[in-house]
Amino acid sequence: KYRADGNLEFMGRADGQVKLRGYRIELGEIEAVVSKYQGVSEGLVVIREDAGNKRLVAYVVPQPEEELETERLKAFLGERLPEYMVPTAYVVMEALPLTPNGKVDHKALPPPGQSETAVDRYVAPRNQTEELVVGIWSEVLGVDKVGVHDDFFELGGHSLMSVKILSRIRALFDVELAVLDIFEQPTVARLVEKIVASRAGSKGPQPPPIVPVPPAEYVPLSYAQQLAWMPGKLPPEDPVNLVPLIFRLEGLLDADALARGLEEMVHRHEALRTTFPLVDGVPVQRIHPTLSVELPVVDLSHLPEDYREAEALAQTEARLGQPFDMAHGPLLRFGLFRLSEHEHVLFLGMHHVLTDFESASVFLGELEALYSAYRDGKPTPLAPVALQYRDYTLWEQQWMQEGGLERLRAYWERKLTPLPEALRLPFDRVPTGDEGFAGASHSFELPTPLSDQVRAFCVKEGLTPFLFMLAVFEAFLSRSSRQEDLLISFTQANRTRAECEKMLGVFANITLLRGDVSGNPSFRELLGRVREGFLEAFEHADMPYVEKARMLEGSSQGLRRSPVQIGFAFPSQSAAAALGFADLVAVPLALPRKEWAPLDLSLSMSQGPRGFVGRFNYRTRLFEPATIQALEAYFQVLVECVIADPEQPLQSLPSLPLFAEHASRTSSPHNSSGTQVAS
């Protein structure tokens, strides 16, 4: 295609380029690497969608008299391709099916799990329990044929899928299993043994099922919604609380079908019709029976072509930047700009108290289904909503009151007592407790060769990139502060029940990880501690953060600042990347929004097209940009060092050059002077 500067940009064959989890992928590039593997005669890579789960599948034909081991092939690809380009399922065939014209017959390709050479390894379910669990795995993983000895992760499983599997097992067998159980028992046969043992053992109180409740004028806030009204947070009416979804839509758009789809979404989901008045000074949910939704269309096609998108984004920013009326609403803002007959900009804005990014992905998936049906003159393809967010809110309140909260509190009291000291990072100004929320961000990208080394290390060690980067971050914090006891916050989806998977509402919860870097461990040893600590925290993550905050407040009397000032994230994909939108091409767009920093310092890592991408968010009253750039360079140095030698003790790693310069500034982290120190 022609770029804005008049030069041509090579995009590859249109029929070989696909989009998966927000990444544009050239299938031919993957196939070229597959063909380099010794023992492969022919290879084909396709994107398949089974049970709503899109993934890359490699179909390979081995050389004559060669026995192809797909585990080694996957490791080979992992060393040479970004993680998002490595197929998660493999089918070994004697030959690829062909059409009469000699082309590959894609319709005749068998689904994963039906590898011709894997027949001998396949073991069918041997009892009713295995049969039921195989059915769960098949549904969640999108694999037609699952053997009882097939490995969960080799079938393409990941942590979010494990949560879905556990929620279905809980509903079916009335037994509580942990995410760690799938990590340690990654086959159906071994997991069934765990289920049988758990059912035979003593069971503690189990949460009741979520059931519909009668309508009421007011419903109390869920724990996740209470976060918006916590002291020390930005006011809920501030537009920074918006979840913005903005797209450039390329293709012939039916604006009436889109507007009708949005109307149906609001009709289907009570969460989108909710406002938050104060009753006796306390915010509550008020669910409106109806809500009129408009999709105003602004025609910008009369403007010069180069100005249209910029003007659409400017008007979008103005619309989304208005404060919210929490009591009366609406808390939704939609708009459409017509740039030309085949190009539009769509924005969908929802307040964070109505939705989180997981719900936004559900919203976009249902909107796409409705749009496609209405455009073709068909009725809604979606089944009626069985449970609403208010049902979940009242269930959560009941369960916590009946003892769930006390059991979780007992764990977190042990974990957070005593509290660690505030980290003495190389601040440019002494923290005082009144830094406010003024923030900035610094983005960076690890070099492609280094990113490839990290992926290969993770494959070899059986790690996720999330756990690797979290371990490096702990080493980074410890070496930057010369402290060994860390407290890191991260956000998890908190959809641990099957009934909540497709529910719209805010579920995301902030949980805490107590990092232990004592005893000068090697990086490999630290990885083990991080994995164990994360899985333990994950199993107790149902504890609402508002309750953790109350515990922290009671334990931190006399401190000027909360001990929770460091955050980490590794998002799998953005909600915006999830939109397929029928036959339209949907390109996510972003606005230059006001920066804010809820914590002193947080790091977000993700997979980019060429390597790992990072983003430091920081409080500008504590850090200068030059300091953050130095911290970013130091983080990269640590990644290089631990990849080169994971056995070296952490204290042998290079120290932060800025530490000596900044040590005097952080010697009194609760000093109230607030004096700026020149750098």
526 within 8 A of 474, measured Cβ to Cβ: yes
Which pLDDT band holds residue 461 (cuts at 50, 70, 90)? confident
Select the highest-mean-pLDDT range: 492-496, 561-565, 630-634.
630-634
- Is pLDDT of 438 > 80? yes
Tell me the three state secondary structure of residue 585. Answer: strand
Minimum mean pLDDT range among 252-266, 338-352, 578-592: 578-592
Max avg pLDDT among 302-306, 456-460, 550-554: 302-306
**Which residues have a Cβ under 8 Å from the Cβ of 304 and sit 6 or more positions away?**
none
Mean per-residue pLDDT for 388-409? 90
pLDDT digits (tens, 9 = 90+) for 511-549: 999 999 999 999 999 999 998 888 788 778 888 998 888
Report the run of H or E that residue 542 belongs to, with start and end.
none
| Per-residue pLDDT reduced to its tens digit, 378-396 | 999 999 999 999 999 999 9
pLDDT at residue number 583: 77
User: Which pLDDT does position 673 carry in this prediction?
Assistant: 31
**pLDDT given at position 677:** 29
Mean pLDDT of 655-674: 48
**Per-residue pLDDT at 98:** 86
pLDDT at 591: 81
Across 51-60, 375-384, 395-404, 571-580, the highest mean pLDDT is recorded for 375-384
State residue 17's pLDDT score: 64
Residue 344 reports pLDDT greater than 90: yes
Would you tell me which CATH number, out of the four given (1.10.1200.10, 3.40.50.1820, 3.40.50.2000, 1.10.3210.10), belongs to the domain 128-200? 1.10.1200.10
Say if residue 374's pLDDT is above 90: yes
| pLDDT at site 389 | 96
pLDDT tens-place string over residues 619-652? 999 999 999 999 999 999 999 999 999 999 999 9
C-beta separation of 508 from 489 below 8 A: no
Q: Among 306-310, 372-376, 403-407, which stretch is predicted with the lowest mean pLDDT?
A: 403-407
HEC-encoded secondary structure of 568-607: EECCCCCCHHHCCCCCCEEEECCCCCCCECCCCEEEEEEE
3-state secondary structure of 91: strand
Mean pLDDT value across the chain? 83
Are the beta carbons of 467 and 609 closer than 8 angstroms? Answer: no
Based on DSSP, count helices (H) and strands (E) in the chain, helices before strands. Answer: 18, 20
Does pLDDT of 187 surpass 90? no
Q: What pLDDT, on the 0 to 100 scale, is given for residue 23?
A: 61
The identity of residue 261, as a single letter, is: G
pLDDT range class, residue 53, cuts 50, 70, 90? low
Predicted pLDDT of residue 526: 96
CATH architecture of 408-578+592-652: 2-Layer Sandwich (3.30)
CA dihedral (513, 518, 521, 523) in degrees, to 10, reads 30
Arch. (CATH architecture) of 218-391? 2-Layer Sandwich (3.30)
Of 112-126, 193-207, 352-366, minimum mean pLDDT range: 112-126
Could you tell me the two tokens for 331? 């808390």
Return the pLDDT at 228.
Answer: 82
| C-alpha torsion 269→275→279→283, nearest 10 | 90
Q: What is the pLDDT of residues 212-232, one digit of tens each?
A: 999 999 999 999 999 888 766
Q: Does residue 206 carry a pLDDT above 90? A: no
Half-sphere exposure of 357 (CA within 13 A, CB side): 13
State how far the alpha carbon of 605 is from the alpha carbons of 88, 430, 468, 611, 614, in Å.
21, 27, 11, 10, 4
Q: Which of 18-27, 335-344, 634-643 has the lowest mean pLDDT?
A: 18-27
Q: How confident is the model at residue 51 (pLDDT cuts 50, 70, 90)?
A: low
Residue 558, pLDDT above cutoff 60: no
Q: By CB neighbour count within 10 A (0-12 exposed, 13-18 middle, 19+ buried), where does 215 fall?
A: exposed
pLDDT (tens digit, 9 = 90+) per residue, 78-134? 778 877 788 878 888 888 988 877 888 888 888 776 443 343 456 777 766 787 788
* 3-state secondary structure at position 544: coil
CATH of 9-120, one of 3.40.50.2300, 3.30.300.30, 3.30.70.360, 3.10.580.20: 3.30.300.30
Tokens for 282? 């306390």
Question: Is beta strand 297-299 parallel, antiparallel or unpaired with respect to 332-340?
Answer: parallel
Range of 96-105, 237-246, 444-453 with top mean pLDDT: 444-453
Q: Does residue 27 surpass a pLDDT of 90?
A: no
**Could you read off the pLDDT of 290-325 as tens digits, one per residue?**
998 889 999 999 999 999 999 999 999 998 888 889
Q: Answer yes or no: is pLDDT of 666 > 50.
A: no
In which residue are the tokens 């690497």 written?
33
pLDDT tier at 172, thresholds 50, 70, 90:
confident
**Same fold yes or no, 218-391 and 408-578+592-652:** yes
Q: Where are the domains of the chain?
A: 9-120, 128-200, 218-391, 408-578+592-652
Tens digit of pLDDT for each residue in 570-614? Answer: 876 554 444 556 678 888 888 876 778 889 999 999 887 788 999
pLDDT at site 333: 93
Question: Is it the case that residue 9 has pLDDT exceeding 60?
Answer: no
Q: 472-481 pLDDT, tens per residue?
A: 999 999 999 9
pTM: 0.73
Secondary structure string (H, E, C) spanning 42-64:
EEEEEEEEECCEEEEEEEEEECC
In the block, tokens 């009326």 appear at 325
Report residue 200's pLDDT band, with 50, 70 and 90 as the boundaries.
Answer: low
Segment 62-82 mean pLDDT: 81
Lowest-confidence region among 108-122, 332-346, 407-421, 622-636? 108-122
